Amino acid sequence: MKLVDRFLQYVKFDTQSDELTNLTPSTPGQMIFARHLKAELENLGLKDVTLDDNGYLMATLPSNLDGGAKVSTVGFIAHLDTSPDMSGRHVSPRIVENYDGGDIELNASSGIVLSPNDFPELSKYRGQALIVTDGSTLLGADDKAGVAEIISAMEYLMAHPEIKHGDIRIAFNPDEEIGQGAHKFDVAHFGADFAYTMDGGEVGELEYENFNAAVAKVTFKGRNVHPGYAKHKMINSMRIANQFIIMLPRWETPEHTEGYEGFYHLVGMEGSVENTVLTYIIRDHDRDRFERRKKELEHLARKINNEFPGCCTLEIRDQYYNMREKIEPVMYIIDIAQQAMRDAGVEPKVQPIRGGTDGAQLSFKGLPCPNIFAGGLNFHGRYEFVPIPSMEKAMMTIVEIARIVGTGRYK
């Protein structure tokens, strides 16, 4: 099956994850998709194909090195789920051939247009074939492009035995979009020395730095009294919560930061006079600054409690850490990826992830795992698209990584 046909088939599976179910996988569609992929991998002739009860699918392309020579086992990983931010049901993609650089009408009846005026990155792909949505769903290139690229690369290597490689492990996991993708990933069973997630964005992206991340829940207890008789008696928890919000630096928010700049992000607010809860996510690439951000929330909670004794409680839970500290001791795996991209005709763009990745959690579980582009753009919404040449370059980057690792000459 061709790469594009494979991708167009995969996006038809409804695999949105759902953080409210407390199940793994969080939605049944992911297991349906995993079973389909399991059968496909078996039919292709891959070995050691396993699918566990939690939806983790793994397989091996065995080494074809002469004389059974031993080199590192490299892995490639992508996730089964799509974002819960927008519907992934009844995805109806179409191909825009030879994109002319203008507006792309996604849905005429709803007036939905993918325009370079709103998404200037479109101009980079003039003359290329693009896969777009019909304007009513997301596309699912995050990360079904990665799934298709990995499987297509394995098929390519099997069809080209002249490309020598060691053992290659592949894995597809559920629930990345809700931060659970690596939680039940069996690193020991996977058995790779290092791996790459195929889950990045536009062509050339290579990422081995991500945010340190935490979530904070700030609860304010108030006291309700009839407003006509409330003087010196009422304690309005919503007003105190507002006081807390404005005590944080206004410029250290997502809408005012970029690159390596961290932030506090208020993602939820629910309140009444008697009880108000704020939910923040805390992000910073630098571990020391990350810890100081958490300390700042603790400091502000104490200030609130000095003015309103016992009013404020704070719970902070770390989510993941910057994988850089785990990648730096094995930087040759970044060198491999950069060389593979160049060999595939791609100029590497090393940049930090302003977010998280399964690779970060896997790196801290003992599997160094940077992130490589899968080719898509505008993830998680109706304006998502993927240039077909970018998918082809991603597939060939996988092939080139396998070839380089197969030489054994990279450390």
Q: Active-site residues: which are they?
A: 81, 176
Inter-residue contact 244 to 184 (CB < 8 Å): no
C-alpha 150/C-alpha 397 separation (Å) is 10
C-alpha 324/C-alpha 21 separation (Å) is 32
Inter-residue contact 166 to 406 (CB < 8 Å): yes
- Three-state SS across 1-59? CCHHHHHHHHCCCCCECCCCCCCCCCCHHHHHHHHHHHHHHHHHCCEEEEECCCCCEEE
φ, ψ of residue 217 in degrees (nearest 5): -115, 120
**Exposure string (b/e) for 240-278, b if CB count within 10 Å is 16 or more?**
bbbebbeebeeebebeebeeebbbbbbeeeebebeebeb
Alpha-carbon torsion angle 165, 362, 367, 152, nearest 10: 0
Strands across the sheet containing 168-173? 47-51, 57-61, 168-173, 74-79, 194-200, 371-373, 205-207, 349-350
Q: How many other β-carbons are positioned within 10 Å of the β-carbon of residue 98?
A: 9
Question: Sign of the C-alpha dihedral, residues 184, 188, 191, 194?
Answer: positive
C-alpha 357/C-alpha 362 separation (Å) is 9
C-alpha 241/C-alpha 250 separation (Å) is 15
Residues in the chain: 411
